[in-house]
Amino acid sequence: MSDASSTPGPSRTSDPDHPGAAAIDSLSDLGADLARRHRAVPSSGAAVPAPVVEADLDAVTRDGYVVLEGLLDEAECAAVRDAVAPLLDRTGRNTFEGARTQRAYGVLARTRACDRMVDHPRVLALLDRLLLPNYLLSQLQVINILPGEEAQLLHPDDAVYPVPRPRPPLGAATVWAVDAFTAENGATVVLPGSHRWGDDRTPDRTDARLPATMAPGSCVLFVGTLWHGGGANRSDRARLALTAQYCQPWLRPQEAFTLSTGRDTARAVSADIRRMLGYSIHPPFVGMVDGMHPQRLLDAPS
């Protein structure tokens, strides 16, 4: 069932009770057999030159994050700004979401304008190396930090999963600057190297906190183990951002996108986003629907 597999399936047997049944000698055979029509295709990240990805990956491995500059142009940022403005109608329900921060969820079901922030090749090229094939989208939010907002509680995103640290990350995230991120307007604050900390360590005043300052159309990508948070907005203008979180394909995503996002949306997005919404399998079975690859739900008329 794995669409991560690109190898031909196992050979068919001549068992008279099960004509055409495949011989399965290993779990990878099983995955390859069940994928059949829905085999892996490389993500759009495969087109990114290897030296570029390796430099990005070196930074992430060393510091826990990397700033990817200038991935979207001003027209693309303006389109995102226009599309998300009507979605920003409320402030946070607690100080973690932010009393002076507007958030919008369910973005993919409401606009196509943000898709490139979810499946940008530079991001996918890194995720392809940090996570297992068929990693999933775990969250997608618009975050608009208003003037006067205080610094968010520092946190690692994958602390929601009860797995002891230190350990490899269970996911990764991007925060995209739609407006320029500055030290004054609430640029995401990162703690370099904190992705290696164990459970016995939380940030104290001696730890370096760096604002991820960047131009519109750039993003900061960090692993789920990195301590970070939204910055205080001491400017007189809002700071508009979009954040996408991704997780290993065997984990439960924070938002159940297969429940919250309709099949018309799943058909409308790119193959990379569709796979990340859950129309994919972690081999041999995780994510199946009625014993079959979930992509079949989209092949049939709904």
Ligand X SMILES: O=C(O)CCC(=O)C(=O)O
Instruction: Compute CA 258 distance to the chain's CA centroid, rounded to the nearest angstrom.
Output: 15
Q: Considering only residues 100, 228, 275, 282, which one is a binding residue for ligand X as defined by CB under 6 A?
A: 228
Tally of helices (H runs) and strands (E runs) in the chain: 10, 9
Q: Is 188 in the site for ligand X (CB under 6 A)?
A: yes
Q: Considering only residues 31, 216, 230, 283, which one is a binding residue for ligand X as defined by CB under 6 A?
A: 230
Minimum separation from the CB atom of position 152 to ligand X (A): 6
C-beta closer to ligand X: residue 152 or 295: 152
C-beta closer to ligand X: residue 76 or 97: 97
Instruction: Compute CA 31 distance to the chain's CA centroid, rounded to the nearest angstrom.
Output: 24
Q: Is 241 in the site for ligand X (CB under 6 A)?
A: yes
Binding window for ligand X (CB under 6 A); candidates: 35-43, 118-126, 158-166, 224-232? 224-232
Minimum separation from the CB atom of position 138 to ligand X (A): 11
Please name which of 200, 202, 183 lies closest in space to residue 191, comparing C-alpha atoms.
202
Binding window for ligand X (CB under 6 A); candidates: 5-13, 87-95, 194-202, 225-233? 225-233
Q: Considering only residues 229, 283, 284, 294, which one is a binding residue for ligand X as defined by CB under 6 A?
A: 229
Angle between helices 50-63 and 121-130 (to 10 degrees): 60
Residues in the chain: 302
CB 55 within 8 A of CB 69: no
Window 137-156: contact mask with ligand X (x via CB under 6 A): ------x--------x----
Q: By CB under 6 A, how many residues form the interface with ligand X?
A: 9
Query: Which residues in 156-185 contact ligand X (CB under 6 A)?
Result: 175
Minimum separation from the CB atom of position 28 to ligand X (A): 36
Q: Quote the tokens at residue 18.
A: 């099960």
**Sheet with 136-145, side-by-side order of all strands:** 65-68, 219-223, 171-177, 239-247, 136-145, 101-104
C-beta closer to ligand X: residue 230 or 283: 230
C-beta closer to ligand X: residue 29 or 158: 158
**CA distances from residue 168 to 57, 61, 131, 198, 253 in whole angstroms, order as listed:** 14, 10, 10, 11, 17
CB 38 within 8 A of CB 72: no
User: Which chain residues interact with ligand X by CB under 6 A?
Assistant: 143, 152, 175, 188, 228-230, 241, 243
